[in-house]
Structure 1
Amino acid sequence: MKKSELVAALAYHAESSKVEAERFLDAFGKTIHAEILKAEKIVIPEVGTFQLSHREARKGRNPATGEEIQIAARNSVTFKATKSLQEAVNP
């Protein structure tokens, strides 16, 4: 689904204009970014939870050469779907 399709769907379900739906979607994205940067957990009812997680440094292997490499530590965003969403996807 492209952004324009999501905006149209939001506008339809919220019974609002596409301009208002796009403004909401942009604000929603900015809010998610800001809260994740503060290391906050974001719970979206009926959808799931976004959370910042830390991945430690580890050793890996270059699949092309077989050479052992060091993979740096980094932060990652994880998403866990709610039970109701999981059940809808896997009836």
Structure 2
Amino acid sequence: MNKSEIIEKVSADNDLTKVKAKQIVEQVFGFIGTDLKKEGRFSFPDLGTFTVSQRAARTGRNPKTGEALKIKASKSVRFKPSPALKTLVAKVKVK
């Protein structure tokens, strides 16, 4: 499911215009981003927890030339699913 499909579903399920549904969806994702920036984590019950993690600087290789490259330290977002989500996914049949 992508962003436009989420907006469509929110709009249809709550009798909202697509413009209003888009505002709500973008506001929710904005709250998540703001909380991650401020607190370093965002927890949503029955879904999971998003956390900011620090990746150390490291040496990598250019796959084409084999030349060593310095890769800068960076921040990334990690997601840990809740037990409820894990249970739900365990019931999904893989195609």
Fold equivalence (TM over 0.5): yes
Matches within 5 A, 1:1-91: 1-13=1-13, 15-17=14-16, 18-91=18-91
Measured in 2, the distance between the counterparts of 1:3 and 1:59 equals: 35
Identity %: 36
What amino acid sits opposite 1:67 in the alignment? Answer: E
Instruction: Could you list the structure 1 runs, at least 4 aligned residues long, displaced by more than 6 angstroms after superposition.
Output: none
**CA-CA distance at 1:28 after TM superposition:** 0.7
Instruction: Give the CA deviation at 1:16.
Output: 3.8
- Distance in 2 of aligned mates of 1:6 and 1:40: 25
RMSD: 1.8
Q: State how many pairs are aligned.
A: 90
Where does the alignment leave 5 or more consecutive residues of structure 2 unmatched?
none
TM-score (norm 2): 0.79
Q: TM-score, normalised by structure 1?
A: 0.82
Equivalent-residue separation in structure 1 for 2:10 and 2:85 (angstroms): 18
Instruction: Please state how far the C-alpha of 1:12 moved relative to its aligned partner.
Output: 4.0
